[in-house]
Amino acid sequence: MISRPKTILKLSLFLLGLVISTSTQAYKSNLTSPINGQEPTDARIEEGSKLFASNCATCHAIDRKLIGPALSGVLAKYDDVDYVIDWIQNNAALISAGDPRAVEASKIDASAMNLFTNLSDDQVTSILMYIENGGDGDEPVAAEGGAAAPAEPVDESLFGKVNWGIVILSVLMFVILVLIVGIIELVSNITGRQIINWNNVNAFMMIVFVFIFFALVLYEYSVHKQFLLPEASSEHGIELDRMMKWTFMATIPVFFITQFLLFYFSFRYRHREGRKAYYYPHNNNLEYIWTTVPAVVLTILVLGGLKSWKNIVKSDPPANTTEIEVFAYQFGWQARYAGEDGKLGQADFNLISATNPLGVANLEYAKGLLVELEEEIKKIEERIAGLGKEEAKLRSTLGGLVGEERKKHLKEIESYASGEVRDDLELTIRARKTQIDRIKRSIEAAETADFYNGYGNDDQVVQEIHLVIGKPVTLRFRARDVIHSAYLPYFRAQMNVVPGLPTQFTFTPTKTTNEMRRLKSDPEWDYYLVCNKICGNAHFNMKLKVVVEQQSDYDKWLAEQGALFVKAEPEAPTEEATEATETEETETETENQTEEGLALN
């Protein structure tokens, strides 16, 4: 398959354009009927597209299954917009309550859908409007359920994209060549004389190869140089780049010289009539030389590497560093700033819930969580009691099903009959009880231990991180579920994010986002932190925006971020206060979402 450069260029430009256009395109509503009693205006759909991009796109596409199922036609499928909104906001609650639609949906994939309690009903409605509008396509979705295709089917097969003329011609020429050679060889075998001197052919190809090889390497460098990373955007990055340069300088000459010698010797010393090899079994001096020289060069590289390694991964960050917690989960990133007190509160995985996705320590929240967990246990126990009825219902709906559906249904019945469902639920109860125990213990120790020191009350959870140019920052990493990795190539930073093992990386940014936008001639460009350790099905879709700006812009942005638990002290146990906290948190997060739509500074 040979692709013409023009086609490749067109294809990549098209893709690039597609990606860019999806983030700037204004959406035109083609919907006529209201959704959730609200008018699907252009503005709502645009809001929906942005919310979709930052919340849903990690796992969902509209017209095809990605990690989660395709979303087009979802409203028609469930015919209950309240259920859909509830599901999106907190699918776990529906599943543990035993809602049959939810339970069935939970079986689609092994990994569960994230919770989005931070999205209000209106925001979810906007997302639904965007979905119903066909997402990136201009056509509204067909009323029937299932994945709908846009009005004009895109030519999805490869058939049309390849220049079959060239391919067929090449294949033909190749086959002809092979046949010719085959015939010559046949004749050689018959006459006993070797017609083609394969030795010379190959020797010749060796020497030709090395020159083409070098040419292509240099050519590729000339073409791809522009795509390599620019000068580092961090202080230590400069040192890292210098190390990189030195290593290149050591290895590139070796590469060219040894490769050349290899192919040149192969050509020059090919067998010819009457030639005899030179019996030269060893030369210890040579061995010493080419042991010592690489050893010396590598020692220099080692010493350089050690020096920069020490500087970069120092265990004591500078005193004036800003600490930001970066929290990784399947499949996204959140970050936490330390708030006014400048200190990050403690956190624990046992305190994670829909309203506190990072599990930040707060005494009254913890007590409230205990209550929630006890309720959840009660609900599960109720469900266990009613399992017989659930099974009976399944059995009653078996009749009439055929084929795949019937098999699936039977399997479900089997999971009830064999006790698998019951065992699962009982294990869940046990896990919740352990969780309750652990929280209780932490509360009991609250007086003496440091955990509920209240530093976390003013912490701010954000969906993108802002850094101040020239000021050191320490990213403190925590993972919720599996190993992730935070990779910030422009800053030359990378660190694994491991559940149960806090890690950190300290650096000082040296180029603002605006500077980079000028450098790249792209007013939409942004720094990103991406996941760099296989973490599940949506590993390729986890990113966190990083903004580097001046102190004043940073201060302004930070001031707008809502605090987790408004009250400074760990007391104030009233229920209204807790609710007020949650609403306020939701409101400020809503503000965050809409702010994303505005041009970022």
Partner 1 sequence: MTAEIHKESSSKTNPKLFNVWLLNIGIVMLFAGLTSAYIVRRADGNWLDFELPSMFLYSTIIVLLSSVSLYYALRSAKQDELGGVKLGLILTIGFALAFCVTQYLGWQAMLDQGLYFVNNQSEGEKVSASFVFAISALHLLHIVGGIIFLLVTAVKAFNLEVHKKNTNLIVMCNTYWHFIGLLWVYLYLFFYFAPGF
Partner 2 sequence: MSTATAHADHHLKETFISKYVFSMDHKMISKQFLITGIIMGVIGMGMSIAFRLQLAWPDTSFPILEWLFGRWAPDGKLDPGFYMGLVTIHGTIMVFYVLTAGLSGTFANLLIPLQCGARDMASPFMNMLSYWFFFLSSVVLLSSVFVETGPASGGWTIYPPLSALPKAMAGSGAGMTLWLVAIILFIASSLLGGINYISTVLNMRTKGMTMTRLPLTIWALFLTAVLGLLSFPVLLGGGLLLMFDRGFGTSFYLSDIWLNGAGALEHTGGSPILFQHLFWFLGHPEVYIIIMPALGITSEVIAVNARKPIFGYTAMVISLLGIAFLSFIVWGHHMFITGMNPMLGTAFLITTLIIAVPSAVKTFNYLATLWRGNIRFTNGMMFAIGLVSMFISGGLTGIFLGNATLDIQLHDTYFVVAHFHIVMGSAAIFGMMAGIYHWYPKMFGRLMNKPLGYLHFWMTFISAYLVFFPMHFMGLAGVPRRYYSFTLLPEYGVWMDVNVLITSAAILGGIAQLIFLYNFFSSIWFGKKSSENPWQATTLEWTTPVEHIHGNWPGEIPTVHRWAYDYSKPGYEEDFIMQTTPDDGQEEQLFETETSPSAPDKKDVPEGETVMFWALIKKWFGSARA
As a dihedral over the C-alpha atoms of residue 30, residue 123, residue 594, residue 460, rounded to 10 degrees, the angle is: -160
Count of residues touching partner 2 (by CB under 8 A)? 151
How far from 599 is each of 24, 45, 57, 332, 589, CA to CA, in Å?
11, 18, 21, 22, 18
Q: Are the C-beta atoms of residues 394 and 406 closer than 8 Å to each other? A: no
Among candidates 517, 545, 548, 506, which has minimal Cα distance to 529? 545
440 binds partner 1 (CB under 8 A): no
How would you classify the pairing of strands 460-462 and 464-468?
A: unpaired
Stretch of residues binding partner 2 (CB under 8 A), selected from 119-127, 130-138, 260-268, 390-398: 260-268
Applying CB under 8 A, among 51, 328, 535, 600 the residue interacting with partner 2 is 535
Both structure tokens of 247: 């290593």
**With CB cut-offs between 5 and 8 Å by kind, which of partner 1, partner 2, none does residue 211 bind?**
none
434 binds partner 1 (CB under 8 A): yes
For residue 94, count other CB atoms closer than 10 A to its CB: 19
Applying CB under 8 A, among 62, 67, 324, 547 the residue interacting with partner 2 is 67
**In the chain, how long is the greatest CA-to-CA distance?**
103
Q: Distance between CA atoms of 497 and 487, rounded to whole angstroms?
A: 10
Secondary structure element (H or E) that encloses residue 189, with its range: helix 164-191
The identity of residue 266, as a single letter, is S
Stretch of residues binding partner 1 (CB under 8 A), selected from 258-266, 306-314, 430-438, 443-451: 430-438
Stretch of residues binding partner 2 (CB under 8 A), selected from 35-43, 275-283, 552-560, 577-585: 275-283
CB of 250 to partner 2, least distance (A): 7
**With CB cut-offs between 5 and 8 Å by kind, which of partner 2, partner 1, none does residue 437 bind?**
partner 1
Among candidates 229, 324, 374, which has minimal Cα distance to 546? 324
CB of 50 to partner 1, least distance (A): 42
CB of 271 to partner 1, least distance (A): 37
Q: Distance between CA atoms of 141 and 62, rounded to whole angstroms?
A: 10
How far from 432 is each of 368, 369, 445, CA to CA, in Å?
14, 11, 20
25 binds partner 1 (CB under 8 A): no
DSSP-assigned letter for residue 347? B
Both structure tokens of 339: 């708030």
CB of 436 to partner 1, least distance (A): 12
Stretch of residues binding partner 2 (CB under 8 A), selected from 27-35, 41-49, 415-423, 496-504: 496-504
Stretch of residues binding partner 2 (CB under 8 A), selected from 45-53, 128-136, 290-298, 552-560: 290-298
Q: Which stretches within 313-463 are classed as H helix?
A: 363-385, 387-396, 403-417, 420-444
Residue closer to partner 1 by CB (options 397, 434) is 434
Among candidates 416, 396, 481, 542, which has minimal Cα distance to 107? 416
The identity of residue 416, as a single letter, is Y
Applying CB under 8 A, among 266, 322, 415, 590 the residue interacting with partner 2 is 266
Question: What are the backbone dihedrals phi and psi of residue 541, each rounded to the nearest 5 degrees, phi first?
Answer: -130, 30
Applying CB under 8 A, among 98, 317, 470, 489 the residue interacting with partner 2 is 489
424 binds partner 1 (CB under 8 A): no
CB of 532 to partner 1, least distance (A): 24
User: In the window 196-215, what residues touch partner 2 (CB under 8 A)?
Assistant: 196, 198-199, 201-203, 205-206, 209, 213
**With CB cut-offs between 5 and 8 Å by kind, which of partner 2, partner 1, none does residue 269 bind?**
partner 2
Q: Distance between CA atoms of 484 and 29, rounded to whole angstroms?
A: 38
User: In the window 350-389, what residues touch partner 2 (CB under 8 A)?
Assistant: 350, 352, 359
Q: Are the C-beta atoms of residues 491 and 509 closer than 8 Å to each other? A: yes
Q: Distance between CA atoms of 484 and 164, rounded to whole angstroms?
A: 43
User: In the window 134-173, what residues touch partner 2 (CB under 8 A)?
Assistant: 154, 156-158, 161
CB of 378 to partner 1, least distance (A): 21
Residue closer to partner 1 by CB (options 435, 513) is 435
CB of 231 to partner 1, least distance (A): 39
21 binds partner 2 (CB under 8 A): no
302 binds partner 2 (CB under 8 A): yes
From residue 31 to residue 70, the character string flagging contacts with partner 1 as x (rule: CB under 8 A) and all else as - is: ----------------------------------------
Cβ contacts of 195 within 8 Å, gap of 6 or more: 184, 185, 187, 188
Residue closer to partner 2 by CB (options 57, 394) is 57
Applying CB under 8 A, among 80, 287, 555, 595 the residue interacting with partner 2 is 287
User: In the window 427-486, what residues touch partner 2 (CB under 8 A)?
Assistant: 428, 430-432, 434-435, 477, 480-483, 485
User: In the window 210-249, what residues touch partner 2 (CB under 8 A)?
Assistant: 213, 216-217, 220-221, 224, 227-229, 239-240, 243-244, 247
CB of 191 to partner 1, least distance (A): 47
Q: Distance between CA atoms of 506 and 467, rounded to whole angstroms?
A: 12
Among candidates 347, 366, 551, 548, which has minimal Cα distance to 459? 347
Q: Distance between CA atoms of 373 and 86, rounded to whole angstroms?
A: 19
For residue 73, count other CB atoms closer than 10 A to its CB: 20
444 binds partner 1 (CB under 8 A): no
**With CB cut-offs between 5 and 8 Å by kind, which of partner 1, partner 2, none does residue 521 bind?**
none
The identity of residue 544, as a single letter, is L
Applying CB under 8 A, among 113, 127, 344, 462 the residue interacting with partner 2 is 113
Applying CB under 8 A, among 220, 420, 437, 560 the residue interacting with partner 1 is 437
Among candidates 78, 202, 197, 195, which has minimal Cα distance to 131? 78
**Does residue 468 sit in helix, strand or coil?**
strand
User: In the window 311-330, what residues touch partner 2 (CB under 8 A)?
Assistant: 312-315, 329-330
Cα–Cα–Cα angle for 365, 369, 373, rounded to 5 degrees = 180
Count of residues touching partner 1 (by CB under 8 A)? 3
186 binds partner 2 (CB under 8 A): no
Residue closer to partner 2 by CB (options 170, 574) is 170
Q: Are the C-beta atoms of residues 74 and 124 closer than 8 Å to each other? A: no
Residues that bind partner 1 (CB under 8 A): 434, 437-438
